Amino acid sequence: MIVWLNGTFGAGKTTTAHELLDLLPGSTLYDPELLGSGLRLMLPAKRFEEIDDYQDLPAWRRMVVDTAAALLTEVPGPLVTPMTLLRQEYRDEIFGSLAARRIPVRHVLLHAEETILRARMAEREDALGDTAPARRWSPEHLGPYADALPWLQGDAHVVDTTRLTPRQTAERVAEAVRTGAGACDIVQTPEPTAETLAAGVLLFDDQDRVLLVDPTYKAGWEFPGGVVERGEAPARAGVREVAEELGIELPRAPRLLVLDWEAPNPPGFGGLRLLYDGGTLTDERISKLLLPGAELRDWRFATEAEAEKMLPPVRWNRLRWALRARERGCPLHLEAGVPVG
């Protein structure tokens, strides 16, 4: 298990983490910031000029998960992880990958009033000196933290540290862990070990906007659908996934729009991706949409232009060809996103 202590600078994550080690038997401090420092030594300096923060590196996010899994083969756990994580898509990627490894997460937000945070930052700066990096970057995180607070408060168990000592905060966290608070109820999707066959279904409203869903276990918006199970017909898999994810029973097997071979891109294995036309939903059926909280957090209808801004490039490319196939009434065969034949 991982006890992830989230919060902005000055919330008390590091001091609480050290106190927490005394209260959780077998616990070990796990600081992913060390991975960021290591990447700074190993990657070309030019790579860091392209990003704002080492958390923007896909390598760092994957290393966080891989290192946690490796550590848990050496120590009994839990791992106590004091790490600011403000971008929801990075939370999805990291926590979703941990769930795929069957590593449960207790997400705890250490929160304090802004005046208290600024006072703590000032004390830290005075202790470290004028040239300390903290003087430059600590206050800069208050704005992004305020922006992230709505989703953080909905996702994590909140402990207000405003009037608590580090020991008192750690005691609150330890009690929360013992009672199961902060558990991230994320669907456990096993990481593929070989090429996969996946079926997605495009559903439309009366304005021809396409339905997109926001998974809790990975970054980026997606189409309803999922991996085809062994022995299952792909079209029927799409129907099953729509029913499981949205509570919508399609009356018939949907029409194929796109078959796309996705090339392996380590650590991904690639495979075949099918997109089907699930038809237009009536207002009544849309009003009855249901979301499984452990798998999806939101849905919305999007125009083609809006979808381009929401979807990762590979999914967006597949969608635009699917829409062209729908207009022409003829399915398309793609290889690595490019039409063939």
Whole-prediction pTM value?
0.77
| Residue linked to tokens 């919305």 | 300
Would you say residue 186 has pLDDT above 90? no
Per-residue pLDDT band at 55 (split at 50, 70, 90):
very high
190 DSSP 8-state letter? P
Per-residue pLDDT band at 29 (split at 50, 70, 90):
very high
* Least confident residue range of 70-74, 113-117, 124-128: 124-128
Share of the chain above pLDDT 90, in %: 72
| Residue linked to tokens 């600081």 | 31
Whole-Å CA distances, 279 to 202, 229, 236:
7, 23, 15
- Could you give the count of Cα atoms lying within 13 Å of 5 in the half-sphere of its Cβ? 32
> What is the predicted pLDDT for the residue at 134?
45
What gap in Å lies between CA 221 and CA 311, rounded to an integer?
5
Contact assessment for residue 95 and residue 105, using Cβ atoms and an 8 Å cutoff: yes
Of 118, 171, 178, 173, which Cα lies nearest the Cα of 5?
A: 173
Of 78, 62, 84, 63, which Cα lies nearest the Cα of 20?
A: 78
What gap in Å lies between CA 321 and CA 85, rounded to an integer?
35
Which DSSP string do the residues of 200-266 spell out, in sequence order? EEEEE-TT-PEEEEEESSSSS-B-SEEEPPTT--HHHHHHHHHHHHH----SSPPEEEEEEEEPPBT
